C-alpha cells in the first residue's frame, strides 16, 4: 500500500489536556514536546519523506505573554536537545513562516540547525513557525504582482507553478495527509494552498496523548482511501 509522501500535522490540544488535569497550559506544551519526539521518530521509521508540524501560528502571538514565552523557550530547548538525533537519523530540518518575527535566540538556533542538516538525505522535518496561510498567499501575490509590473513575469505564461515558487513551501511537495488532533475539525489557516487534494484525518486524541500507534493508524486510514483527483473510480 502507498505511504503518503508528505504528512502535515496540526498539533492541537496541549492546553486543554493540561486543564482537564488541573495543571497549567505550559505543562501541556511541555508534554506536547514529548509527542513531537515520538512522532518524528515514527514517521522516520515509516519512511515518510516529508513531515510538517504546525508548531506556532501567526495568530498564536495573541496568546498570553507567559504562554508565548514558554513556547519559545521550549522551542529553543528542543532544537538544542534534538540536534544530534536529527544528524544521527539523517533528518533535514526546514522551517516555513515569518521566521524573522521570532525572537533572536530562536532564529539563531533554528538557522544553525537548518544549515548543519541541509546535506542530510533522509526525511525533511518542517516546522511551521509564526505561520499563516493567508499571509503566505498574500505575500506571494505581492511578489508576483511586482514582477509582472517589472516585466519579470509574463501573464501569458502564468500558471500555478509560479504561485508555488513564491510560497514558503516552494521546496516541498503538496500535502498528502493532514492530521489534526484534539477533536477540532477545521484547518485554522494552515497550508491552504498545499492541502487542496490532501486527505484529512481528525482524531479526538489530544496532542500530548497522540502516540506512535495513533500516527500509524492515521497512515493506515489514509491507505484505505481512494484518491481520485477529480476522476471517477473507473478512470484510476
Q: What is the set of active-site residues?
A: 12, 60
Q: What is the distance of C-alpha 227 from the center of its chain?
A: 22
* All three cell numbers of 187: 484547518
Rounded to whole angstroms, the Cα distance separating 62 from 64 reads 7
Q: Could you give the C-alpha distances from 213 to 28, 48, 99, 152, in angstroms and in order? A: 20, 15, 32, 49
Residues in a beta bridge with 179? 9, 201
Residues in a beta bridge with 10? 54, 180
Rounded to whole angstroms, the Cα distance separating 162 from 180 reads 29
* All three cell numbers of 23: 495543571
Find out whether 37 and 82 touch, Cβ atoms under 8 Å. yes
Rounded to whole angstroms, the Cα distance separating 122 from 48 reads 9
Residue among 209, 213, 216, 206 nearest 183 (CA)? 206
Amino acid at each position: 500500500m502507498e505511504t503518503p509522501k508528505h504528512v502535515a500535522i496540526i498539533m492541537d490540544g496541549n492546553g486543554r489536556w493540561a486543564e482537564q488535569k488541573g495543571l497549567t497550559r505550559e505543562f501541556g506544551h511541555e508534554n506536547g514536546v514529548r509527542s513531537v519526539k515520538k512522532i518524528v521518530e515514527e514517521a522516520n521509521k515509516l519512511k515518510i519523506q516529508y513531515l510538517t508540524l504546525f508548531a506556532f501560528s501567526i495568530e498564536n502571538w495573541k496568546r498570553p505573554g507567559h504562554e508565548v514565552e514558554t513556547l519559545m523557550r521550549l522551542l529553543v530547548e528542543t532544537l538544542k536537545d534534538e540536534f544530534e538525533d536529527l544528524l544521527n537519523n539523517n533528518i533535514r530540518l526546514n522551517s516555513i513562516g515569518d521566521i524573522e518575527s521570532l525572537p533572536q535566540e530562536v532564529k539563531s538556533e533554528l538557522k544553525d540547525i537548518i544549515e548543519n542538516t541541509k546535506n542530510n538525505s533522509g526525511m525533511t522535518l518542517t516546522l511551521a513557525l509564526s505561520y499563516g496561510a493567508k499571509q503566505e498567499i498574500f505575500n506571494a501575490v505581492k511578489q508576483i504582482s511586482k514582477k509582472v509590473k517589472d516585466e519579470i513575469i509574463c501573464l501569458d505564461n502564468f500558471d500555478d507553478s509560479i504561485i508555488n515558487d513564491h510560497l514558503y513551501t516552494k521546496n516541498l511537495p503538496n500535502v498528502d495527509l493532514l492530521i489534526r488532533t484534539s477533536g477540532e475539525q477545521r484547518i485554522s489557516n494552515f497550508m491552504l494552498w498545499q492541502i487542496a487534494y490532501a486527505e484529512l484525518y481528525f482524531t479526538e486524541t489530544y496532542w500530548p496523548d497522540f502516540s506512535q500507534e495513533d500516527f500509524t493508524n492515521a497512515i493506515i486510514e489514509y491507505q484505505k482511501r481512494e484518491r481520485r483527483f477529480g476522476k471517477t473510480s473507473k478512470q484510476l
